[in-house]
């Protein structure tokens, strides 16, 4: 297949399949699917950051009229596991059980109630009598590894289930390191060595739909979970594990979900709903409120120390990236997020000598987890600010300095092999890379040459900044996606995929891939996804995998079913197989004769040679080809107030073939605006006891339409041979750029280097003051 090939459906911005049903308000989300009678679940949460539950008495709550069940550690099984929705055996530690006799952050679960309505449930929570033995907490990440620090996971049964370092006795949730080459020699050769720390903050995904799950006991003794998840198959497995049930007794359905961004890659509420439904034999709805959502799962805050060596001519000699990651009270995704700090960042440039080490530590703070960007976001802050620092120190244009050192087509990086997700990685060469064109087009759109180094005078100073990025596409040799297709009598196809559309439009993208192979209009593909009883397995929506991984499974299944169709047609038309191809809903012969797919279906279903034309395929990737991107921003800094205003933001992104350009742009824009919001205003404020103070949209501000700058989103097509029709991933990469890009633009405007986010007016003013003092 050549890159120049013209596609019929792929590469077209067809409307997202479910978008009209959503725009007209169709009842398509979990909370829209309630049975006539159901109970409401609420959870009692810990007021302490660190405490042992010395006693718990739920008798008064149980006696309250309308209460059907109260659960706590005294009446539920203790099964250590993880909430991280990852492939089994999970790389995250088993340090969590549904209800524990210890609480480890403010907001940790203590007990749960199922009652006839929310008011009764709330009342019941207040009647549960809990005595706590309060323990010293760790509320600062740098304190976690100090000798004598409180031990957060002192339970004897916490453990890891893959062979990786894990030392709960000193609050170490994970450790990973690697060295390639000789760092000392590298720094020796360098004319310039730069060494700084960069720090980024807690943030929450803020899906507009909070986590919500409906658990329904079925008449046959099974349990159906309708839930807002990114990982239906992992939910089935992990809930079964928690309940000590066979997987076969659980049916998970994912309807439409109102955004995920990683936070719904966790099994956070399904276990509670499931236990309550089984205990009460009634349907149970468990929906987080917004304040609970804030401390459900978060981005891992990190302190990243980066040391680089370069020669005067701008060539690189050594890099050493050291990460201290705060995983909060539980180690969900601790190791794999850490790994990504190295594996998605270090291969971007041609470092001859490379060091990487990352510790993820427990604290008594909100639990971190998967969040779009997944460690790459955090490490790119350090890398891309420091690349700017090097360039300015050497008196080089930051763009040209990067360009000279970027990885090139056909090259590899030792990091790919050295660092996987919780294990060794997979070697790969870069076959598709459009970063050069991204740089060219992005620089032009922002006016890089024209605008750089011209801050102007007066109160409002202008600056431009940029950065380069890569990510991956799926987890190679780990993740699996699959698809099935069958032909119906009107020439339509049912496409069943385990892949999980969390609003990204993957159902549409996967349908486009099938339609392209089958030569039919997208309306002929009836897609149904994410139902553990009906659709084949898929790991779910994470690691930028769906288009690249599940898409290839769809393409394989479509190729198979196309061959079956051609075989039947060959018999019906009396033509050799090789002369037949599928187009416009027909099988077309070389001589122009054609036969409708409906005719073929009618014959095989009702008339002759009767069988169901159907196919089924799975896919595991051998590679994780990176998408690449260049980001550019123009900002204005108000030196009186410290206010940073982003005037214009330009991205140019190589995601291979964009199967649906409009949806791909939407992924970039959504990720970028989330990143801008993180760069400029999002942060958790804690009181001295470790309680999040600003747990509402009123106090934790996320970007609204008013905050959005002028944006230009450029897609730079390349062709990735190993992806379906040349596609790579696009959903995560965009979130990595805003912090370094804005920081670099602020430097261009006012000459201060901000290495701690977010760039609030106070922080900018403070840095400006320090600079003034220095210059006095």
Residue nearest ligand FES (C-beta atom): 208
Interaction of residue 445 with other proteins, rule CB under 8 A = no
Interaction of residue 209 with other proteins, rule CB under 8 A = yes
Interaction of residue 82 with other proteins, rule CB under 8 A = no
340 vs 335: CA distance, rounded Å = 9
Please tell me whether residue 70 adopts helix, strand or coil conformation: strand
CB of 91 to other proteins, least distance (A): 27
For the purposes of burial, counting CB atoms within 10 Å of the CB of 763, is it exposed (0-12), middle (13-18) or buried (19 or more)?
A: middle
Interaction of residue 88 with other proteins, rule CB under 8 A = no
Angle separating helix axes 398-405 and 435-446, nearest 10 degrees: 170
423 vs 339: CA distance, rounded Å = 9
Interaction of residue 35 with other proteins, rule CB under 8 A = no
Interaction of residue 671 with other proteins, rule CB under 8 A = yes
Residues 495-514 touching other proteins, rule: CB under 8 A, are 502-505
Interaction of residue 666 with other proteins, rule CB under 8 A = yes
> Look-up: residue for tokens 């609050």?
171
70 vs 60: CA distance, rounded Å = 10
Q: Binding marks (x or -) toward other proteins, 690..709, rule CB under 8 A?
A: ------xxx---xxxxx-x-
User: With CB cut-offs between 5 and 8 Å by kind, which of other proteins, ligand FES, none does residue 256 bind?
Assistant: other proteins
What is the full DSSP assignment across 605-622? IIISS----EEEEEEE-S
User: With CB cut-offs between 5 and 8 Å by kind, which of other proteins, ligand FES, none does residue 404 bind?
Assistant: none
745 vs 461: CA distance, rounded Å = 10
Q: Which two three-digit tokens encode residue 641?
A: 């107030």
Q: Binding marks (x or -) toward other proteins, 571..600, rule CB under 8 A?
A: ------------------------------
CB of 285 to other proteins, least distance (A): 11
For residue 212, list its beta bridge partners.
287
606 vs 565: CA distance, rounded Å = 15
User: With CB cut-offs between 5 and 8 Å by kind, which of other proteins, ligand FES, none does residue 513 bind?
Assistant: none
**Strand order in 480-487's β-sheet?**
525-529, 493-497, 480-487, 614-620
User: With CB cut-offs between 5 and 8 Å by kind, which of other proteins, ligand FES, none does residue 323 bind?
Assistant: none
CB of 213 to ligand FES, least distance (A): 19
Which helix (DSSP H) or strand (DSSP E) does residue 210 occupy?
none
Interaction of residue 206 with other proteins, rule CB under 8 A = yes
Interaction of residue 256 with other proteins, rule CB under 8 A = yes
Interaction of residue 665 with other proteins, rule CB under 8 A = yes
| Cβ atoms of 413 and 353 closer than 8 Å | no
Which positions lie near ligand FES, rule CB under 6 A? 208, 259, 503
Interaction of residue 243 with other proteins, rule CB under 8 A = no
Tell me whether residue 260 or residue 656 sits nearer to ligand FES (CB atom).
Answer: 260
CB of 328 to other proteins, least distance (A): 21
Which helix (DSSP H) or strand (DSSP E) does residue 357 occupy?
strand 354-362
634 vs 639: CA distance, rounded Å = 16
Tell me whether residue 291 or residue 494 sits nearer to ligand FES (CB atom).
Answer: 291
534 vs 525: CA distance, rounded Å = 17
Tell me whether residue 162 or residue 702 sits nearer to ligand FES (CB atom).
Answer: 702
CB of 655 to other proteins, least distance (A): 15
Helix, strand, coil shares of the chain, percent, nearest 5, are 30, 25, 45
Q: Which stretch binds other proteins (CB under 8 A): 466-474, 584-592, 593-601, 661-669?
A: 661-669
Strands 302-310 vs 192-200: parallel, antiparallel or unpaired:
antiparallel
Interaction of residue 16 with other proteins, rule CB under 8 A = yes
Interaction of residue 662 with other proteins, rule CB under 8 A = yes
Interaction of residue 296 with other proteins, rule CB under 8 A = no
Tell me whether residue 553 or residue 663 sits nearer to other proteins (CB atom).
Answer: 663
| Cβ atoms of 101 and 81 closer than 8 Å | no
User: With CB cut-offs between 5 and 8 Å by kind, which of other proteins, ligand FES, none does residue 164 bind?
Assistant: none
Q: Which two three-digit tokens encode residue 91?
A: 């790389």
Q: What are the E-state strand segments in 405-450?
A: none
CB of 489 to other proteins, least distance (A): 24
208 vs 260: CA distance, rounded Å = 9
266 vs 84: CA distance, rounded Å = 5
Tell me whether residue 190 or residue 635 sits nearer to other proteins (CB atom).
Answer: 635
Binding residues for other proteins, rule: CB under 8 A, are 13, 15-16, 18-29, 31-32, 205-210, 256-259, 261, 287, 289-290, 502-505, 662-663, 665-666, 669-674, 696-698, 702-706, 708, 711, 713
């Amino acid at each position: 297949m050549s890159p120049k090939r013209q596609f019929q459906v792929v590469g077209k911005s067809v409307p997202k399949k479910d978008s009209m049903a959503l725009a007209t308000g169709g009842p398509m989300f979990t909370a829209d699917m309630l049975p006539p009678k159901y109970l409401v679940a609420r959870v009692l949460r810990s007021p302490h950051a660190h405490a042992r539950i010395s006693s718990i008495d739920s008798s008064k709550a149980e006696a309250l009229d309308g209460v059907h069940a109260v659960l706590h550690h005294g009446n539920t099984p203790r099964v250590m596991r993880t909430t991280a929705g990852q492939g089994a055996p999970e790389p995250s530690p088993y340090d969590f059980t549904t209800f524990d006799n210890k609480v480890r952050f403010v907001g940790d679960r203590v007990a749960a109630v199922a009652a006839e309505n929310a008011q009764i449930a709330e009342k019941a929570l207040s009647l549960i009598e809990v005595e706590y033995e309060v323990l010293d907490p760790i509320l600062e990440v740098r304190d976690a590894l100090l000798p004598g620090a409180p031990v957060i996971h002192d339970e004897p049964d916490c453990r890891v289930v893959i062979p990786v370092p894990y030392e709960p006795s000193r609050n170490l949730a994970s450790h990973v390191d690697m060295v390639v080459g000789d760092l000392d020699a590298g720094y020796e050769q360098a004319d310039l060595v730069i060494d700084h720390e960069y720090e980024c903050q807690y943030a929450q995904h803020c899906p507009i739909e909070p986590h919500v799950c409906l658990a329904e006991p079925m008449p046959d003794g099974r349990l159906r979970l309708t839930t807002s998840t990114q990982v239906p198959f992992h939910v089935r497995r992990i809930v079964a594990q928690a309940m000590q049930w066979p997987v076969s007794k659980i049916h998970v359905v994912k309807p439409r979900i109102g955004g995920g961004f990683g936070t719904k890659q966790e099994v956070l509420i399904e276990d509670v709903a499931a236990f309550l439904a089984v205990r009460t034999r009634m349907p149970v709805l468990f929906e987080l409120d917004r304040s609970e959502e804030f401390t459900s799962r978060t981005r891992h805050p990190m302190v990243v120390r980066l040391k680089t060596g370069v020669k005067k001519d701008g060539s690189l000699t050594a890099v050493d990236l050291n990460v201290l990651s705060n995983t909060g009270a539980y180690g969900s995704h601790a190791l794999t997020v850490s790994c990504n700090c190295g594996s998605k960042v270090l291969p971007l440039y041609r470092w001859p000598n490379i060091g990487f080490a990352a510790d993820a530590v427990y604290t008594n703070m909100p639990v971190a987890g998967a969040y779009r960007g997944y460690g790459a976001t955090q490490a790119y802050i350090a890398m891309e600010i420091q690349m700017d620092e090097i360039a300015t120190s050497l008196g080089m244009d930051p763009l040209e300095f990067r360009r000279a050192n970027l990885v090139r087509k056909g090259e590899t990086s030792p990091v790919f092999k050295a660092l996987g997700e919780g294990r060794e990685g997979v070697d790969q060469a870069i076959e598709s890379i459009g970063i050069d064109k991204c740089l060219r087009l992005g620089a032009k759109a922002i006016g890089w040459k024209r605008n750089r180094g011209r801050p102007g005078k007066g109160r409002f100073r202008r600056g431009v900044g940029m950065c380069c990025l890569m990510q991956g596409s799926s987890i190679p040799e780990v993740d699996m996606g699959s698809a099935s297709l069958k032909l119906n009598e009107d020439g339509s196809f049912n496409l069943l995929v385990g892949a999980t559309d969390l609003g990204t439009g993957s159902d549409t993208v996967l349908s486009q891939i099938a339609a392209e192979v089958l030569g039919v209009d997208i309306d002929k593909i009836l897609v149904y996804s994410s139902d553990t009883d009906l659709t084949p397995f898929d790991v779910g929506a994470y690691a930028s995998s769906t288009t690249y991984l599940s898409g290839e499974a769809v393409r394989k299944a479509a190729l198979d079913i196309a061959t079956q169709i051609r075989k039947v047609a060959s018999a019906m038309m009396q033509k050799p197989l090789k002369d037949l191809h599928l187009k416009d809903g027909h099988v077309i012969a070389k001589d122009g004769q054609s036969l409708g797919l409906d005719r073929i279906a009618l014959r095989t279903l009702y008339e002759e040679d009767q069988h169901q034309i159907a196919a089924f395929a799975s896919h595991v990737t051998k590679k994780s080809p990176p998408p690449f991107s260049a980001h550019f921003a123009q900002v204005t800094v108000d030196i009186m107030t410290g206010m940073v205003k982003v005037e214009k933001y330009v991205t140019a992104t190589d995601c291979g073939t964009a199967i649906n350009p409009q949806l791909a742009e939407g992924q970039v824009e959504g990720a970028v605006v989330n990143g801008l919001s993180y760069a400029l205003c999002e942060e958790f404020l804690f009181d001295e006891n470790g309680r999040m103070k600003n747990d509402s949209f009123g106090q934790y501000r996320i970007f609204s339409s008013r905050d959005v700058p002028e944006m230009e989103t450029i897609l730079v097509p390349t062709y990735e041979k190993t992806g379906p029709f040349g596609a790579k991933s696009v959903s995560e990469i965009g979130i990595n750029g805003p912090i370094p890009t804005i920081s670099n633009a602020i430097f261009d405007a006012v000459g201060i280097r901000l290495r701690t986010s977010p760039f609030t007016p106070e922080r900018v003013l403070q840095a400006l003051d320090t600079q003034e003092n220095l210059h006095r």
